[in-house]
Amino acid sequence: MLQGCLLTGLESVSPEPSLASSFVRPDDPQEELGQREHPLVLAKYGGEYINEKAEEALALIVGKLVSVSDDPSRIYKVTILDTPKVNAFALPGGYLYITRGLLALANDSSEIAAVIAHEMSHVASNHAILRQEKLSSVKVGEEVVNDVLGDSVAARVALAANQIKLADFSREQELQADAIGIRMIGRAGFDPYAAARFLETMQAYQSFMAGNSDPLDDVTFLSTHPTTPQRVELARRHARFFGAPGIGERQRDRYLAGIDGLLFGDTAEEGFVRGRVFSHTGLGITFTAPEGARVENQPKAVIVTGPGEAATRFDAAAISKRDTLTDYLKSGWINGLVEESIVEGTTPSGLPMAAADAQADGWRFRVKVIRIGQQVYRFITALPNGSPQIMEISDQITSTFRELYRSERKALAPLKVRVIEVGTDDTLGKLAGKMRNGEDSLTLFKLINGLQPGETPLVGTKVKIVTDS
């Protein structure tokens, strides 16, 4: 029942939608559907993120939107999800979800209003119900990986980008929700151009996360969503109904005050990604991905995409005191294991390690396990058959695995969004230098502040930085 919609492309203009769509009543069976799926959403996305200031900011925005809707008695339940992913979606019965990652990326109330109004439009138009029969979660590459690793490892190794994808609404439904949502925020007095502006910010951020070296100078969407530029233009076209750019409220300062101190990125319980480095204070371990790779911290594993077609899954499991690492590799959790390939040794930091190969149709896997006490840490690298780099890539990652020093543990802290005022001596470089996100702080600073190429924040204005203090 989960419907992903924020980054879906649109190609053509549909007839002007009516705001008098059939609305869901609280006693409707859809309410039961939403209640049933709600705990599953919380489990998948890290649970609910509690932040009173952010919740108050959202409540004010939702209140204004509901007041201009065709059904002001409609009840919407808005939940902030504790995940750095940038997304928002809806369930039947008025359940709306917005991630803290999206809140951190937005720059004013009008942009969040555009997101929420879009989702309210999906609920009001019964889109989630209309899509129910066609809903399908897709796991790209799952069959290939399952052939090798089996259910016990959940098969999420290869093809890191191959996560469960939320079923998209149809293009017509997305267009309808865009149009209704923009009309709603315009009626509520918000800047109607916020939808187009935030779509551009999201596509730039997605390019940045995918490894584009300079997405602000060449803002392109991932190949799976090639029509976003058309969608942005359509959003502007709907906004022109209210007038030229510059109309409506943005409420930037009020919004920024509401997200000041918001958690950014991973939690301490999940471990931290800083550029290509993953560290976990609780487990006391760290490793570095090769150049050209991207590290993503998922709920049950860390996924390293690249370099090239390579993908590596990192996770942990318990091991019996009696078992050797060779015993563990042969214990049945790896299907297609080439037993004669097993070798034991140590890492450069002196930790016990064993390695082995595994095969599946079209794929080769290099599995390495490293032991610390009764914990075993597993690196599983996948590449298509015939790729000679698999040994080198696997070695590059595992050779950096080690235990954290006590000083390193103390120094690691969650990142937060902090709102600061631009001083007279502040340049882009100085402002970006206050960031603590890891690599490419300048690009991230531009992205989270919605800066266009060549634009510099004005003295006295508020900007966001990401820091651990």
SS3 460: coil
The whole-number pLDDT of residue 135 equals: 38
- In angstroms, the CA 119 to CA 140 distance is 27
Residue 35 domain flag: yes
Q: Say whether both 290 and 384 belong to one domain.
A: yes
Q: What tens digit of pLDDT does each residue of 317-355 get?
A: 999 989 999 999 999 998 889 999 999 999 999 999 999
Q: What does the alpha-carbon distance between residue 4 and residue 71 come to, in Å, rounded to a whole number?
A: 24
Q: Which pLDDT band, with edges at 50, 70 and 90, does 36 fall under? A: confident
Domain termination residue (choose one: 360, 378, 409): 409
Same-domain status, 205 and 332: no
> What are 80-124's pLDDT values in tens digits?
999 988 888 888 778 889 999 999 999 999 999 999 999 888 877
pLDDT at 207: 81
Does the pLDDT of residue 381 top 60, yes or no?
yes
> What is the count of structural domains for the chain?
3
| In a shared domain, residues 215 and 345 | no
145 domain residue, yes or no: no
Is position 142 within any domain?
A: no
Of residues 180 and 14, which shows the higher confidence score? 180
**64-68, 93-97, 113-117, 457-461 — which is least confidently predicted?**
93-97
Residue 187 is predicted with a pLDDT of 95
Give the pLDDT of residue 397: 96
Please indicate, yes or no, whether residues 255 and 298 belong to a single structural domain of this protein.
no
In the three-class reduction of DSSP (H, G, I as helix; E, B as strand; rest coil), residue 315 is classed as strand
Residue 160: inside a domain:
no
Question: Averaged over 292-312, what is the pLDDT?
Answer: 88
Give 401's pLDDT tier (boundaries 50, 70, 90).
very high
Residue 443 maps to which CATH number? 3.10.350
User: For 140-153, what is each residue's pLDDT tens digit?
Assistant: 233 333 434 443 33
213 & 360 share domain: no
**In a domain? residue 183:** yes
- Token pair 């190949």 is found at 223
Residue 120 lies in a domain: yes
Based on the domain organization, do 38 and 174 belong to the same domain?
A: yes
Structural domain ending residue among the three candidates 409, 442, 458 = 409
What dihedral do alpha carbons 197, 199, 204, 208 form, nearest 10°?
Answer: 140
Does residue 376 fall inside a structural domain?
yes
Q: Is 137 helix (H, G, I), strand (E, B) or coil?
A: coil
pLDDT at 15: 35
Do 383 and 362 meet the contact criterion of CB atoms below 8 Å apart?
Answer: no
pLDDT of the residue at 399: 97
Nearest to 401 by CA among 280, 292, 296, 267: 280
Query: Which of residues 201, 231, 264 is at a domain's end?
Result: 264
User: Do 95 and 175 fall into the same domain?
Assistant: yes
Do 112 and 192 belong together in one domain? yes
pTM, 2 dp: 0.75
Q: Are residues 392 and 426 in the same domain?
A: no
Q: Report d(CA 89, CA 418) in Å as an integer.
A: 26
Domain that holds residue 278: 272-409
Mean per-residue pLDDT, 403-424: 94
Torsions phi, psi for 101 (to 5 deg): -65, -40
User: Residue 452: which pLDDT band, with cuts at 50, 70 and 90?
Assistant: confident
Q: What is the pLDDT of residues 273-294, one digit of tens each?
A: 988 999 999 999 999 999 989 8
Mean pLDDT, to the nearest integer, of 50-66? 93
Stretch 425-438: mean pLDDT:
91
DSSP per position, 414-446 = -EEEEEEEPPTT--HHHHHHT--SSS-HHHHHH
Instruction: Identify whether 42 is part of a domain.
Output: yes
Question: Which pairing describes strands 167-168 and 3-4: parallel, antiparallel, or unpaired?
Answer: parallel
- 297 membership: H or E segment, kind and range: strand 294-297
Q: Is residue 83 located within the same domain as residue 30?
A: yes
Residues 402 and 421 in one domain: no
pLDDT for position 71: 76
Tokens of 1: 């029942």
Alpha-carbon gap, residue 166 to 231, rounded angstroms = 19
Share of the chain above pLDDT 90, in %: 53
Q: The domain spanning residue 384 has which CATH number? A: 3.40.1000.10
DSSP for 173-203? HHHHHHHHHHHHHHHTTB-TTHHHHHHHHHH
Instruction: Check residues 10 and 454 and name the one with the higher pLDDT.
Output: 454
Residue 350 DSSP one-character state: S
Omega within 30 of 0 (cis) for the link into 307: yes
Q: Are residues 258 and 277 in the same domain?
A: no
